[in-house]
């Protein structure tokens, strides 16, 4: 049953959450903006166009920042809420009536669970929508400048990279294509002076792939490589499944902006070279809410362990312990990316290591 005090503590938590959220994101925007102010100013269209570019640029980066800071924002909000409850002696009357400490802070854990759920929702529904906008450079809102391309593998095993890309036209200069060994032509290298990505349009066979011109070789005597159709001398059309311009532009990290369901579908792909880091990312997204809750439980246990400790010292110790957990998560992810640990173990190891100590610490809180 939710009491009036529960509602009061829950409102206090959400107020703290909004304050921390707005403060951290605003701090980043202000620092980054003034560091790169020259990239936004002196653009065609005058001051109004510059302001519009600033608003669009940083507005699209809010989901990415939230993805990076979500767990810490929840932790800080919970820590400040409980520390402030102690500072104002709001827990003392409850404890005097026989209400256990764990019951008194239950609204904080409910609020933490709700806000931690925002992270998976953000990864699933928001970041994939703004993924294309996240690749826009500060000084190139029209996407007219050439950009370096990192290259990417298609689901068929074809590898593509280029010298320079122009996002506005989805055009790549000097594209290098490597077909896999299981291709009808065997392993084969092909270059195209210009490649333009044509988005999928209905059942048109010449969409959903790359239009290659001025290629070398310009013709084939034997069987054509995988997904390649000849249009004339030095002109071909390469059908791809997911290696569009965005994938080639983002390089090996293009999947970072994919939704969790899309990650799972890609993990079912039989192409083995795509699975390592992608599997670590997928399992990390699954365990992220659990890790976040462990950070909250462990951090609040530190604060509640000594009610007489100063609020600043308690909050600092809470953040210090949670930072240790966060660093352990990063270390496990690195070991998983390097194939030192299996992907599932790299993601679940922080939960296995810190789960029992967190529960023991919370159970030992003075009631």
Question: How far is residue 364's CA from residue 342's CA, in Å, rounded to a whole number?
Answer: 34
Share of the chain above pLDDT 90, in %: 58
Pairing label, strands 235-239, 171-179: unpaired
Given a cut of 90, whether residue 92 has pLDDT beyond it is: no
Tens digits of residue pLDDT in 357-366? 999 999 988 7
Tens digits of residue pLDDT in 328-349? 999 999 999 999 999 999 999 9
Domain boundaries in the chain?
4-131+276-363, 152-254
Residues 188-201, mean pLDDT to the nearest whole number: 95
To the nearest whole number, what is the mean pLDDT of the chain? Answer: 89
**Under 8 Å between Cβ of 276 and 342:** no
Residues 242-257, mean pLDDT to the nearest whole number: 78
Out of 86-95, 182-191, 200-209, 297-306, least confident range: 86-95
**350-354-355-359 Cα dihedral, nearest 10 degrees:** -160
- Residues with Cβ within 8 Å of 81's Cβ and at least 6 positions away in sequence, in order, are 9, 12, 13, 16, 108, 111
User: What pLDDT was estimated at residue 272?
Assistant: 47
Given a cut of 70, whether residue 186 has pLDDT beyond it is: yes
CB-side neighbour CA atoms (13 Å) of 82: 32
Of residues 115 and 268, the one with the higher pLDDT is: 115
User: What pLDDT was estimated at residue 179?
Assistant: 93
Given a cut of 90, whether residue 296 has pLDDT beyond it is: yes
Given a cut of 60, whether residue 242 has pLDDT beyond it is: yes
Residues 143-152, mean pLDDT to the nearest whole number: 79
> Among 1-10, 130-139, 303-312, which range has the highest average pLDDT?
1-10
Given a cut of 90, whether residue 228 has pLDDT beyond it is: yes
Distance from CA of residue 166 to its chain's centroid?
24
User: What pLDDT was estimated at residue 341?
Assistant: 94
Of residues 150 and 192, the one with the higher pLDDT is: 192
């Amino acid at each position: 049953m939710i009491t009036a005090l529960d509602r009061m503590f829950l409102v206090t938590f959400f107020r703290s959450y909004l304050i921390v959220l707005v403060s951290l994101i605003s701090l980043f925007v202000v620092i980054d903006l003034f560091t790169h102010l020259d990239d936004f100013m002196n653009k065609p269209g005058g001051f109004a166009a510059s302001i519009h570019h600033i608003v669009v640029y940083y507005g699209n980066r809010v989901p990415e920042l939230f993805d990076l800071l979500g767990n810490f924002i929840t932790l800080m909000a919970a820590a400040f809420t409980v520390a402030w409850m102690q500072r104002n002696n709001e827990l003392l009357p409850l404890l005097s009536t026989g209400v256990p400490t764990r019951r008194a802070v239950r609204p904080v854990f409910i609020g933490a669970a709700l806000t931690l759920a925002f992270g998976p929702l953000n990864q699933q529904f928001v970041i994939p929508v703004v993924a294309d906008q996240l690749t826009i450079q500060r000084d190139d809102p029209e996407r007219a400048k050439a950009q370096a391309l990192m290259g990417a593998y298609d689901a068929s095993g074809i590898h593509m990279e280029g010298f320079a890309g122009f996002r506005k036209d989805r055009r790549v200069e000097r594209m290098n294509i490597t077909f896999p060994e299981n291709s009808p032509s065997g392993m084969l290298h092909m270059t195209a002076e210009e490649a333009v990505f044509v988005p999928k349009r209905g059942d048109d066979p010449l969409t959903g792939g790359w239009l290659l011109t001025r290629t070398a070789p310009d013709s084939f005597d034997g069987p054509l490589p995988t997904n390649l159709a000849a249009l004339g001398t030095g002109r071909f059309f390469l059908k791809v499944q997911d290696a569009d311009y965005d994938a080639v532009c983002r390089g090996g990290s293009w999947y970072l902006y994919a939704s969790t369901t899309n990650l799972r579908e890609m993990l079912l792909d039989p192409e083995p070279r795509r699975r390592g880091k992608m599997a670590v990312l997928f399992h990390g997204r699954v365990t992220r809410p659990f890790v976040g809750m462990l950070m909250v439980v462990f951090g609040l246990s530190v604060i509640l362990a000594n009610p007489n400790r100063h609020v600043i010292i308690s909050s600092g110790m809470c953040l210090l312990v949670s930072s240790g957990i966060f660093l352990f998560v990063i270390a496990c992810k690195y070991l998983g990316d390097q194939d030192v640990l299996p992907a599932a173990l790299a993601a679940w190891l922080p939960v296995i290591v810190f789960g029992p100590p967190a529960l023991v610490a919370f159970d030992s809180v003075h009631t």
